Amino acid sequence: MTTTTTLADLAATSLNAVRILERHGLDYCCGGKQPFDQACAAKGLRAEEVLSEIERAKVSGDAGRDWQTAPLGELAHHILTTHHEYLKLELPALGKRMDKVHAVHGPKDPQTLNRMAEVYAGLREELEMHLHKEEVILFPFIEQYGRAEAQGQPMPFVPFGSIANPIAVMEREHVSAGDALSELRNLTNNYELPPFACSTVQALYQGLQALEADLHVHIHLENNILFPRAIALEKR
Ligand SMILES: [Fe+2]
Ligand SMILES: [Fe+2]
């Protein structure tokens, strides 16, 4: 790894790298194609220092599972059981909190709260459809690819020409979800609590930030590891 490696490749080295990039506000997810040194410069960070922090975390042994080499089906299973399950629980729960905050506090700041409710509803609907498409269409084929690789068999036929086609659609939807979360972050001034904040507003803001953090790791595992590995298998 060098300072000119892209953010996505650096993030793909370990989950510790992901956490460190996140802590520094470096977008390895939708902005992952950017070279690491340029992204650091834009944030006023010293690339060498961040890199050595990542190297040290590696040596300390808590690097988590290496998803670059783990069986592909295991990675798909991990994404489904960890990140998809999380969203299925959190999206409705946050929706309820959003509705409550909108109903109770809406008149105090209608411009912000109307737009927040609108952006959240769009994000939720899009993500629920996105999870469904991955689970019903894409992931079953990726799991078949993983099995074919493990057994040394040729890759199975896919009905959509190339696995790269549905992947491109999923990646576009990831960008759109990332945009909605950025807009929510901007609307709330980085989740700064308003003067009228009650415990529901606090829970909503905390929940949205947790959702954003989880979604970043989720999209990273798909965009930067799962999808490129599936495309590489197909090309083999
Ligand atoms: Fe997913
Ligand atoms: Fe996805």
SS (H, E, C) 136-196: HHHHHHHHHHHHHHHCCCCCCCCCCCCCHHHHHHHHHHHHHHHHHHHHHHHHCCCCCCCCC
Beta-bridge mates of residue 6: 35
Q: Ligand 1 centroid vs 90 CA: distance in angstroms?
A: 14
Judge whether residue 61 has pLDDT over 70.
no
Identify the nearest ligand to the CA of 84 by its number.
1
Backbone angles phi, psi at 98, to 5 degrees: -60, -45
**How much is the mean pLDDT over the chain?**
91
Mean pLDDT, rounded, for 7-35 = 82
Q: Which residues surround ligand 1, an ion (CB under 5 A)?
A: 134
Q: Ligand 1 centroid vs 135 CA: distance in angstroms?
A: 8
Q: Which residue has the tokens 């606090």?
A: 202
What's the rounded Cα separation, in Å, for the pair 209 and 15?
19
Q: How many residues are recorded in the chain?
A: 236
What tokens appear for 55 in the block?
């190297």
- pTM reported for the whole predicted model: 0.79
Q: Which residues surround ligand 2, an ion (CB under 5 A)?
A: 170, 222
What's the rounded Cα separation, in Å, for the pair 17 and 51?
9
Q: Ligand 2 centroid vs 201 CA: distance in angstroms?
A: 28
Q: Ligand 2 centroid vs 115 CA: distance in angstroms?
A: 24
Q: Ligand 2 centroid vs 219 CA: distance in angstroms?
A: 6
Confidence of residue 198 (pLDDT cuts 50, 70, 90): confident
Mean pLDDT, rounded, for 66-71 = 92
Q: Ligand 1 centroid vs 125 CA: distance in angstroms?
A: 14
Q: Ligand 2 centroid vs 134 CA: distance in angstroms?
A: 7
Judge whether residue 23 has pLDDT over 60.
yes
Q: Ligand 2 centroid vs 107 CA: distance in angstroms?
A: 35
Mean pLDDT, rounded, for 37-62 = 82
Q: Please report, in angstroms and rounded to a whole number, the separation of the first and last CA atoms in the chain.
A: 25
Distances (CA, A) of 28 to 82, 180, 198, 202, 214: 20, 17, 33, 27, 13
